[in-house]
Chain A
Amino acid sequence: MKQTLKITKVVTVVIAILALFAINAMLFASGETEEKAAGGKKLVVGFSQNDTNNPWGTAETESVKDEAAKRGIELKYADAMTKQANQIKAIRAFIAQDVDAIFLAPQVETGWEPVLKEAKAAGIPVFLLDRGVDVTDDSLYVTLLASDFVFEGEEAGKWLAEEMNYKGNIVELQGTPGASPTIDRKKGFENIINKYPDLKIIKSQTAEYQMGKGKELMEAFLKAEGENIDAVYAHNDAMALGAIQAIEEYGLKPAEDIIIVSVDAIKDAFEAMVAQKLNCTVECTPLLGPGAFDALEKHLAGEKLPKWIKSEDQVFTKDTAADYIDSRKY
C-alpha cells in the first residue's frame, strides 16, 4: 500500500511541475505573439505592469494600451502577476528586443538597480508609472509619473476644514500601516487640520483599505464617541463605503449628520455621492497613459523633464458627482 502511495505522490508532483511549465509557456507565448509586424519606423514601447488583479491596475493598463493604439505606437505588454522577478525578466526581454522605451509600474521600490543599469547601457529610456524606485543613481530613469499622496491628504483636509467651518471632531480610517499612501495621506491631512485648533482628530485606527474592516472600525468608533463625531476621513473609498453602512445602521444619516471625505475617486464612490451618502472624494488617478506617452515624446524631442511629473488630481463633491459619473473609467 505504501508503495502505491509513493507512486501517486510522485505522479502528482510530476503533474504539478508539468502544469507550471505549461502555464509559463502560455504566458511567454502570449507575450511574444505581438512581436511581429512592426512596419516602418513605428515606435515600440515595452510596458511591464506589476498586477492587473485590481480595478485600479486594470484601469491603468487600459489607459496605457488605449493611448498607444491612439498614437499608433506598438506596445509590448507583460503582466508580472505581483512578482518582481517576472518584471525583471520582462525588462530583460524588452532590452533583448531592443524596444524604443520601457514603461515600468514597479511592484516594490527596491531591487531595481541592476536591471535598470542594463537598460541604460542599452540606451533604452525607462519611464516609471504610479510608484517610484529606490536607486542611488536617478539617471537610471527618465521620470516618474504618479500622484502625490501628501497632496491628496492636503486636498481632503482643505475641503473638510472649510465644510466643517474650521471646528469639530474628526475620526480617521487609516490604510495599511507602513504603506506609502497611508503615511503620506495621513501626513498631508494633518498638515492642514493642525492649523486649526478647533479641529480635532479624536480617533485614528487602521482598517487596511478594506470595506469590511472600515465598517467594523466605524461601528467601534460610533460606540465609543457616538454623536460626538462630526466627520470621517478615510484613506480610500472602500473604507468610506464601509463606514457609510455603519453610520446608517447606527441610525444616523451619512453625509448629513456625519461628513465623509475619502481618497481614490473610484466609480463606486461616485455612485455613493450621487445617492447623497458620501460628501467628497479626492482623485488618485490611474489614467497615466496620455501623460506617459507625452513624456516619452518630449524626451525623444530632446526636452528635459522633471524627475517627478505629478498627476493633476481633482476633488469631486456630491453636488457635482452626477456630471462626472458617466465619464469615470475606474
Chain B
Amino acid sequence: MKKKNYSSLLWPLITLAAILVFNLIFTKGFFNIEIKNGHLFGSIIDIIKRAVPVMIIAIGMTMVIATKGIDISVGSIIAISGAIAAIIILNTGLSLFFVIFLSLAVAFLFGAFNGLLISYIGIQPVVATLILMVAGRGVAQLITNGYVLYIDHKAFEYLGIGFFLGIPFSIIITLIVYIITYAVTRTTAIGLLIQAVGGNPRASYYTGINVKSIKFFVYAFSGLCAGISGLIISSDIKGADPSFAGLWVELDAILAVVIGGTPFTGGKYYLFGSIIGSLIIQSLTTTILTRGVPVQYTLVVKAIVVFIVIIFQSAEFRQKVLRGLKRKIQ
C-alpha cells in the first residue's frame, strides 16, 4: 500500500489513542480485562461490542460515500430487520437460518429500493434515502403495532450476546463483514470501479463502467449491512424496538466514516478508517457514561472531541499550524 493511505489514518489513530490514554490515567479499572465465566469482560470489550452496530453500518456507508452518495435510511432499516426477525420467530417455527435469511433479504431489498431511486430514476441520494428514513420507521411500527416485541429464542440471542472462544460473537460478525468487504473490494475490480464512479462519474461512464449498477449495488449493500446490524441490536436487547432501535445511528455512521478520513467528495475511501472512527465515537460515549459526566455536558464534550479530530483531518489546517510553529522556532 502507498504511504499516503497510512498518513490519513494517522489522525484518527492518534485520537483513539488519546481517549484511551486519558482513561488509562483518569478512570480506574478501565483497562482491566478479566475472564468471567470463560468470557472476556471489561470496559474495552464493552467499547468494541457497543461499537458493533455502527461499525457494520459504517462499512456499508463507506462504500456509499465513496460513490459521492449518502444513505440516511440505515437507522430505519435496522428497525425493520429487527421487527421482521421478531414476527417470524414469534409466529412461525422456522429455523434460525430462515429467520436471518428472510430479515436480511428484506433489508437488502429496501437498500435496493434506495439504489433504484438513485441510480435508475436519478433522485438525489439524500432525498431518496430520506423517504425510507421517514417511512421505514413507520413500516417497523406497523409490523409490531408500535410495541416492543420480545424475542425469547436462545439461538437468536447468540448473535448479540453470545461468546465464541470467549470473544463476543457480535465482534466476530463484524470482523467477518469487514474481511469480506475488504477482500471483495481489494482483490476484484469492484473497489476500483467504486472509486472511479465517485471520482468522476461522467469519465467512468465514457470508459464503459456501468455507473448505474455500481451505485445500485452500494446502496443495496448498505441496506444489507443495516440489516445485519438490526439483527444484532434486537438480539442484544432480546426484543425488536420499532421506535428506538437504530434511531439516529445513521448520523453516527456518517460521522465515523468522515472521522476515518473518507471525504464526502467521493473517490477515495478508507474502510479501516471508518472502523477506527466508529471506535472513537463509542470510546467517547463509554468514557462519558463510565465517568458519569453530567448529562448537560455530554453532547458538548462529544462535539469538542469530534471538532478537534475533523480540524486535524484538514491538510490545510495542519500546514498552517505547522508553518506557524516553524516561524515561532525561527
A contact residues vs B (CB 8 Å cutoff): 5, 8-9, 12, 52-55, 58, 174, 177, 202-206, 208-213, 215-217, 219-221, 223-224, 238, 242, 245, 249, 251, 268
B103 to chain A, nearest CB (A): 17
By beta carbon, the residue of chain A nearest B30 is A223
Query: CA–CA, A221 to B293, complex, Å?
Result: 12
A216 contacts B148, CB within 8 Å? no
By beta carbon, the residue of chain A nearest B137 is A53
A242 to chain B, nearest CB (A): 6
A323 to chain B, nearest CB (A): 22
Query: CA–CA, A58 to B142, complex, Å?
Result: 13
Quick one: which of B46, B122, B138 contacts A9, CB cutoff 8 A? B122
Query: CA–CA, A213 to B249, complex, Å?
Result: 12
Query: CA–CA, A8 to B27, complex, Å?
Result: 58
B289 contacts A221, CB within 8 Å? yes
Main secondary structure on chain A at its contact with chain B? Answer: helix
A242 contacts B295, CB within 8 Å? no
Knowing A245-B238, A251-B36, say if A210 contacts B244 (CB, 8 Å).
yes
A195 to chain B, nearest CB (A): 22
Quick one: which of A53, A220, A224, A238 contacts B146, CB cutoff 8 A? A53
Quick one: which of A9, A203, A209, A217 contacts B123, CB cutoff 8 A? A9
By beta carbon, the residue of chain A nearest B141 is A53
B94 to chain A, nearest CB (A): 25
B148 contacts A224, CB within 8 Å? no
By beta carbon, the residue of chain A nearest B246 is A212
B contact residues vs A (CB 8 Å cutoff): 27, 29, 36-37, 42-43, 46, 50, 121-123, 138, 141, 146-148, 150, 161, 233, 236-239, 241, 243-245, 247, 286, 288-296, 298
A211 contacts B243, CB within 8 Å? no
B241 / chain A contacts, CB cutoff of 8 Å? 210-212, 238
Knowing A8-B121, A216-B50, say if A223 contacts B42 (CB, 8 Å).
yes
B289 / chain A contacts, CB cutoff of 8 Å? 205, 216-217, 220-221
A5 contacts B122, CB within 8 Å? yes
- What's the count of A-B pairs with C-beta under 8 Å? 86
Quick one: which of B29, B148, B161 contacts A268, CB cutoff 8 A? B148
B121 contacts A220, CB within 8 Å? no
A54 contacts B146, CB within 8 Å? yes
By beta carbon, the residue of chain B nearest A267 is B147
Q: A204-B294, A211-B239, A221-B292 are in contact. List 8 more A-B contacts (CB 8 A).
A: A9-B121, A12-B121, A53-B141, A211-B237, A216-B50, A219-B46, A221-B290, A238-B148
B50 / chain A contacts, CB cutoff of 8 Å? 216, 219
B97 to chain A, nearest CB (A): 25
Can you show 26 pairs from A to B with CB atoms below 8 A apart? A8-B121, A9-B121, A9-B123, A12-B121, A53-B141, A202-B292, A203-B292, A204-B294, A205-B288, A205-B289, A205-B292, A206-B295, A206-B298, A208-B244, A209-B244, A211-B241, A211-B244, A219-B50, A220-B43, A220-B290, A221-B289, A221-B290, A221-B292, A224-B29, A238-B148, A245-B238
A212 contacts B236, CB within 8 Å? yes
A55 / chain B contacts, CB cutoff of 8 Å? 146-147
A237 to chain B, nearest CB (A): 10
A174 / chain B contacts, CB cutoff of 8 Å? 295
B236 contacts A224, CB within 8 Å? no
A208 / chain B contacts, CB cutoff of 8 Å? 244
Quick one: which of A212, A216, A221, A251 contacts B244, CB cutoff 8 A? A212
By beta carbon, the residue of chain A nearest B248 is A208
A224 contacts B298, CB within 8 Å? no
> Would you list the 5 A-B pairs with minimal beta carbon distance, nearest first?
A220-B289, A210-B244, A203-B292, A220-B290, A224-B290
Knowing A9-B123, A55-B146, say if A220 contacts B244 (CB, 8 Å).
no
B36 contacts A220, CB within 8 Å? no
Query: CA–CA, A212 to B241, complex, Å?
Result: 9
B313 to chain A, nearest CB (A): 28
A6 to chain B, nearest CB (A): 9
Query: CA–CA, A216 to B298, complex, Å?
Result: 15
A205 contacts B295, CB within 8 Å? yes
B148 / chain A contacts, CB cutoff of 8 Å? 211, 238, 268
B281 to chain A, nearest CB (A): 13
B37 / chain A contacts, CB cutoff of 8 Å? 251
Query: CA–CA, A112 to B161, complex, Å?
Result: 47
Quick one: which of B141, B161, B286 contacts A249, CB cutoff 8 A? B161
A219 / chain B contacts, CB cutoff of 8 Å? 46, 50
By beta carbon, the residue of chain A nearest B46 is A219
B235 to chain A, nearest CB (A): 11
Query: CA–CA, A217 to B293, complex, Å?
Result: 12
A203 / chain B contacts, CB cutoff of 8 Å? 292
Quick one: which of A52, A212, A220 contacts B286, CB cutoff 8 A? A220
A317 to chain B, nearest CB (A): 22
Query: CA–CA, A213 to B233, complex, Å?
Result: 11
Quick one: which of B138, B244, B290 contacts A223, CB cutoff 8 A? B290
Query: CA–CA, A209 to B123, complex, Å?
Result: 36
A115 to chain B, nearest CB (A): 26
B233 / chain A contacts, CB cutoff of 8 Å? 212
A217 / chain B contacts, CB cutoff of 8 Å? 289
B135 to chain A, nearest CB (A): 11
Query: CA–CA, A275 to B147, complex, Å?
Result: 20
A37 to chain B, nearest CB (A): 30
B247 / chain A contacts, CB cutoff of 8 Å? 210
B121 / chain A contacts, CB cutoff of 8 Å? 8-9, 12
B33 to chain A, nearest CB (A): 11
Query: CA–CA, A205 to B287, complex, Å?
Result: 12
Query: CA–CA, A262 to B193, complex, Å?
Result: 53
Counting chain A CB atoms within 10 Å of each CB, which of B150, B238, B290 scores highest? B290
